Amino acid sequence: MRRDAVGRPMEILLVEDDLEDAGMTIDALRQGDVPCRISLVCDGQEAMEFLLREQQYRRAPRPDLILLDLNLPKKTGREVLADVRADDQLAGIPVVVLTSSRTHQQILQDEKLRVESYLTKPVDLAQFNGVVKSLRKYMLSDVTLPQ
């Protein structure tokens, strides 16, 4: 967990091309007990521009978490995930895949593309909160707090 992340809302990058699914996901996140700011991009190419702070995203915040749909236009979610994992600056960002199919898990495992978790669409608030809590435990396990 980065030191600058303590005490501020979680920055979440939502990569989703279906605006109805995106709206439901954003509503679920806002109802949760995790304070967060959500940035939405609608295709894989735009996701990489955001993450690399290119074009109109030069001032974009570095996300603490990426919620990634796999079926995206321009660049697939699998391609985005492969690019994120191959980039030293981005590889440490936790990625949670949004999926409506269990076959995606097997595909990602076969391609050795590591993700922290999966959420089934539409996103369920309790399921999301459980994923965030487990990610927080994972991220905080590396932090030594002062006595």
Give the model's pLDDT for residue 71: 85
Whether the Cβ atoms of residue 57 and residue 86 lie closer than 8 Å to each other: no
Q: What is the pLDDT of residue 96?
A: 86
pLDDT given at position 30 = 80
Position 146 scores a pLDDT of 39
Copy the structure tokens of residue 147.
């006595």
> What is the reported pLDDT for 63?
94
The domain ranges of the chain are: 3-129
Nearest alpha carbon to residue 79 among 45, 51, 39, 41? 45
Tokens of 140: 């905080």
Q: With contact defined as beta carbons under 8 Å apart, do 15 and 67 qualify? A: yes
CATH classification code of 3-129 = 3.40.50.2300
Pairing of strands 95-99, 10-15: unpaired
pLDDT at residue number 142: 43
Beta bridge partners of 99: 120
Do the Cβ atoms of 13 and 81 come closer than 8 Å? Answer: no
Q: How far apart are CA 104 and CA 90, in angstroms?
A: 22
Per-residue confidence in pLDDT tens, the chain, 147 aa: 444 555 678 899 999 998 988 888 888 778 776 778 999 999 999 999 999 999 999 999 999 989 998 889 999 988 999 999 999 999 989 988 877 666 665 565 655 667 767 676 666 667 666 666 665 554 444 433 334
